[in-house]
Structure 1
Amino acid sequence: MNKKIIGSFLASVMIASTTTISAFGAMGSGTVVIGTKAFDLSYANDPANLKEINSAIVDGGMVYVKDFNGKWINNINGLAAEISSIPAVIYKNATQKISFDAADLDAKVTTTINSAAQILAATQAVVKAEISKVQADVDAANASVIALANAEQSKIRADLLSRLNLIKVANTTTPTTTVDVTAPILNSVSLTIGQPVLATKDASGNFKVSLGTAKATDMFTDLKLNTSEKATAKITCLGRTKTFTINDAGDVTIPVSDLLGSYASAAGISVGTLKGYLGLLGNSITLNATLTDAAGNASTKTIVIAAN
């Protein structure tokens, strides 16, 4: 084919328009026939297909263009062509190859160009649905699988549908995150009187500590708590209530002055002085400790400090 014919052909196929395809009948308007090959106009105009189109031109053969009135035009002389002059061709667009008999008749689909891509996309959609178990993903995967409609895809289609049928969709109305319903636990209590003095824990989770073995001159400086989780501790003692923050490790150290107020100094209170106060209060005081975690779960325990 000489340069004149090639130039004439290129001028024809550069006409931009929407191509219509009849799946079982004549080729759609806008079709370009080059020898025994035919192309959808959009496909022919796509720069990505330029090498393929040029190769068809070089291979030779008559060139026909079907105009948008459905009439065949001889690309060399621009005159109308008899439909009987259209050879048997393999028609190609972006997604299909279709075999057309001579005279633009009796089309049948012979293969799907993007079959592998369709199978891959459907498989990936099924895998996503299997992992997420979300209804929207299952629906999207089902649509992709149903689209695998040709004969060569039928077994894969059936296998993927079987996998979808096995998916148990999670209830997305209620979040699947774990809900914290457990209140904090008070693990241990100790008084710093020169050194830690551990309180005894009873079966109910309450604590009691005795000052009986401490020297009168020893200084009681702070109270230490350890809990099962990060929380706040609201402690009531001698009619005084204060709230303290328990750290991530479940620990908090509370100065005696924050517990006893004016009964103690910033340096604490001596055991002898504290026992004197306790003698006036029935030889013991009770601290009520309410622990509350971030989820709002709360528990209250008592801590008894006894003179003996």
Structure 2
Amino acid sequence: MKASCHFEPIVVSKNNLLVQIPNKLTVVEAIAFKREYPQWMDKVGVKKIILDFGKTKIIDSSGVGSLVALMKSAKEKNITLQIWSVNPQVAEVFSLIGMEKVLPIISHTEPTIPISESRLVDSPPLTHPSVRSKTKRLMDIVGGLIGLTFVGVLFIPIAIAIKLDSPGPILFSQTRCGWMGKRFKIWKFRSMVTNAEALKDKIDNEAQGAFFKNENDPRITRVGRFLRKTSLDEFPQFWNVVKGEMSLVGTRPPTPDEVEKYEIPNWQRLDVRPGLSGEWQVNGRSKIKSFEDVIKLDLRYQENWSLMYDLKLIFKTIIVIFSKDSGAV
């Protein structure tokens, strides 16, 4: 994707640069932003870079990704970053991801609304129409509650099987990155040994790119293989769906260390809520070993999204679960 946007910093003092962010900071602008800011930091004597968001009305996950990359580079060079003039929609995004906790956000120009006053619960930031769909959210709540009913019925036999097979907790939680990169705790029935994370570095990664996969992962328990084969290990995530952290259908929620490896265009996959199912899950998730293929499937979902498309993927998910080749590895 060609980035045509250009950022021209203004020297406001000997050691300070002011950069005017355009009316939107989405993937095209974010690519240009990341391409240009190294030369700002290389200017002799620069100690502070001020990002003026006074004109910016829209920012998506790619824009967030470019800011995260800038923060890392600035920290390496001991340059202070500061944000001015945040409009309501952008303020909502910053509040969502906790940006105000790591970067000072200062009122400067009009219109300026401090983060604490800009909670737009009924009007989430515009990244993808699925996020604003009340019908999709209703489907998630209803489907999530039905799913939790199954969890209640199956919990005791699954818990007994897990305990008899491998010592440790019944449930497994892990930090994942959701919509716009916001972190949350995902829940699953435990399908691996308890020290699986510590052993990860000793397991060969058969995938290419920013995710991990091994078809014969020795950390998976016997019961765990059955749970993955039937996707029963995913059922506790219906709680994440009910809470609004996930959707019944969306993109695969990445881990923070995966997001650390993202290029700016890869952040687009975070423009929708992550899903229990989606293109990746119903199109051979056990066989896909290229991160670029995952990205293509995630972006295809965003391009094709509709309520009927969600229902179609839910139906395909059910078929996949009951097929002999289903399940994750």
Which structure has the highest helix share of the two? 2
* Greater RCO, CA 8 A, separation 6+: 2
TM-score interval for Structure 1 and Structure 2 normalised by the shorter chain: under 0.3
- Indicate the structure with greater strand content: 1
TM-score of the superposed pair, with normalisation by structure 2: 0.20
